[in-house]
Amino acid sequence: MNHKLRPFTARAVQHIYQKSIDGGVVFYNVVDRIVFCSVVCVMAERYGITILMSAIMFTHLHHSLIANMKSKMSKFMQDATSVYARLHNCHYGRKGSLFHDTFGSAAKTSEKKIRENLAYVANNHVEKGLCKHAVDERWTFLPYYRNGFPFSEPITLEKASQQLTYAMRFVARRRKQKKYLKYSDWYSITIGLNHVEIEQLIDYTISTYLYVDFDKAIEFYGDFETMVSAFDSVVGAEHDIKEEYYRFSDQEYVRIGKILKEKGWSPRKIYEASRDEKVKMANVLMNRYQIDGLALRKYMHL
């Protein structure tokens, strides 16, 4: 969509849909998503963007946001995706665009349409078979509204190990400086941490860089419980943006990732491997594990 022709209503809730350049996977793991979240947080603050709901999927992302100028909304999306693409490419040894140059957007002005859109964005993971309730999914960020450590043991700096204390202070300092995290930052601060501590640091980092203003979203429902109950009752709808639909569950991506990891295939290897090598491995997964062919093509960029 040409940004000059993009419909825009100031202070309306804008549904943003951004997909990868080839329709393939761009968020392979937790670190990809953490780096992206930190970038979005910094850029949203820079351009005065209020994000009411968000969903980070494997191949695309959704935001329900408010911007007072179309140019700021466009600049926010341009900078957030281009900065992340640069970090992603540098880490994985990849070249070229990661996302489409343009993104889909649709203005929601009535409260009914806004609620429909918030439910639609929140339920993306539910619809793709990744969870039963939107409030349970980490990458809707809903679990972080009232709990800084929803998927790990709560911890304070006074009780943390020296390594974890350093990592938490590093994250807090970067956030205070309005700087995003790089892949090298994450892998550096997690050296020496055990599994439990890494899970704690993941929660702490997401909470620190939480960019969704749930209080603003709640204004359309009254309270948090009513909002999440509405998400359970209504899937939501989007008729103004053309999205790519496919039949398989996103659990296929989870399965593919686990199998490839067992076979020594990392995201970096996927990017570095020749087409023949990827086709050969894809055939193994289809024949031996009955993996969906389209899911494999998207995961392995075939």
CATH number, residue 63: 3.30.70.1290
Please tell me the distance from the alpha carbon of residue 134 to that of residue 228, in angstroms, as a whole number. Answer: 8
Q: How many domains does the chain have?
A: 2
Do 223 and 102 belong to one domain?
yes
pLDDT tens-digit profile, the chain (302 residues): 444 455 667 679 999 999 999 999 999 999 999 999 999 999 999 999 999 999 999 999 999 999 999 999 999 999 999 999 999 999 999 999 999 988 999 999 999 999 999 999 999 999 999 999 999 999 999 999 999 999 999 988 788 999 999 999 999 999 999 999 999 999 999 999 999 999 999 999 999 999 999 999 999 999 999 999 999 998 877 777 777 778 899 999 999 999 999 999 999 999 999 999 999 999 999 999 999 999 999 999 99
pLDDT score for 1: 45
Do 224 and 267 belong to one domain?
no
Please tell me the distance from the alpha carbon of residue 200 to that of residue 207, in angstroms, as a whole number. Answer: 11
Residue ending a domain, among 220, 244, 268, is 244
pLDDT score for 6: 55
Do 152 and 6 belong to one domain?
yes
DSSP per-residue letters across 251-267 = HHHHHHHHHHHHTT--H
Structural contact between residues 8 and 14, judged by C-beta atoms closer than 8 angstroms: yes
Do 93 and 232 belong to one domain?
yes
Do 52 and 179 belong to one domain?
yes
Residue ending a domain, among 214, 244, 274, is 244
Do 128 and 5 belong to one domain?
yes
pLDDT score for 7: 63
Do 29 and 66 belong to one domain?
yes
Do 90 and 214 belong to one domain?
yes
**Assigned token pair, 194:** 């055990």
pLDDT score for 159: 84
pLDDT score for 43: 99
Find the domain containing 273 and state its range: 251-300
pLDDT score for 8: 64
Do 189 and 57 belong to one domain?
yes
pLDDT score for 265: 97
What values do phi and psi take at 14, rounded to 5? Answer: -100, 125
pLDDT score for 176: 98
pLDDT score for 129: 95
Do 258 and 236 belong to one domain?
no
Residue 264 contacts by C-beta under 8 Å, 6 or more apart in sequence? none
Do 219 and 260 belong to one domain?
no
Please tell me the distance from the alpha carbon of residue 235 to that of residue 55, in angstroms, as a whole number. Answer: 14
Query: What SS3 state is found at 92?
Result: helix
Do 195 and 258 belong to one domain?
no
